[in-house]
Amino acid sequence: MPAFIEARSLEHVYRLESGQEIAALRGVDLTIDRGEFVALIGANGSGKSTLARHFNALLLPTAGEVRVDGLSTTDPRNLWEVRSRVGMVFQNPENQLVASTVEEDVAFGPENWGLPPAEIRTRVDEALQIVGLEGDRATPPQMLSGGQKQLVAIAGALAGASVSASPARPASIVFDEPTSMLDPRGRRQVMGTIQRLNAEEDLTVVLITQSMDEAAAADRVLVMHAGEIAMHGPPREVFEDDEQLEALGLDVPPVAKIARSLRLRDVPLRPGLLTVEELTDALSSSPSPKAARC
């Protein structure tokens, strides 16, 4: 099966009013399969947000090519089809809400497609059920918590796919640091919904994040540096190379850091530990360190 999102020799150059050119992407090659959960991490200015905006044609390549479900993003005839397949949810939920009630906000996208009222109602009902906000349809968005506002934005992306898209909802959503402005409860709400959409609704997820814990939940991690993909692979492999990550200005998940510290104290722990549960299980079955037996 061909990749759902594919970039080949992708370059992007920002041209400032002064005439200065800044190369944000430098020959990026990648593929993302349908139903995959990919995390994009990297220091500020590494190019991860620029890369993600190519996935639904918010940006177009300076050179190279991006294809979404086989459609080239540089062909103007494909613009709406590409955007129907790849939704976007941004960092600040306040900037994504446009209506006076949750229901009206989620309906905004399908209304702009000119869909019949009955289909709009079906899409809104389904999207609100998926994100768990059925009971808040008449609530003004400003009365919701930050996490709930972000869930409204996710519901809007789910409901707003093109009438010609198949299936009706987008096959992918790009999340650009969706939890960075939320409190811990809101982060858990949003991340739980993202993981459930990926696992139960077969949604292809691209998550830009500064949280190594969030990245550890992905199927695959791409590490951006200076406009290039510097590392990639399953989270257990990527986060085990803590020296390279630190050289790129990044940290590792707290559990991985604790496990490394314990290994330096002769506690025999297997590599690739990423969750509290995994670390607890490993410690409960691990023999006492040498120092403790002296």
pTM for the model stands at 0.87
Ordered structural domains, the chain, with CATH: 35-60+77-233 (3.40.50.300)
Report yes or no: 188 and 217 within 8 Å, Cβ to Cβ.
no
pLDDT for the residue 226: 96
pLDDT for the residue 293: 46
Mean pLDDT of 64-69: 96
pLDDT for the residue 291: 45
Q: What would the pLDDT profile of 30-51 be if each residue is shown by its tens digit?
A: 999 999 999 999 999 999 999 9
pLDDT for the residue 257: 84
Mean pLDDT of 262-281: 86
The residue count of the chain comes to 294
Q: What would the pLDDT profile of 108-142 be if each residue is shown by its tens digit?
A: 988 887 889 999 999 999 999 999 999 999 999 99
Mean pLDDT of 215-243: 94
Comparing 275 with 79, which gets the higher pLDDT?
79
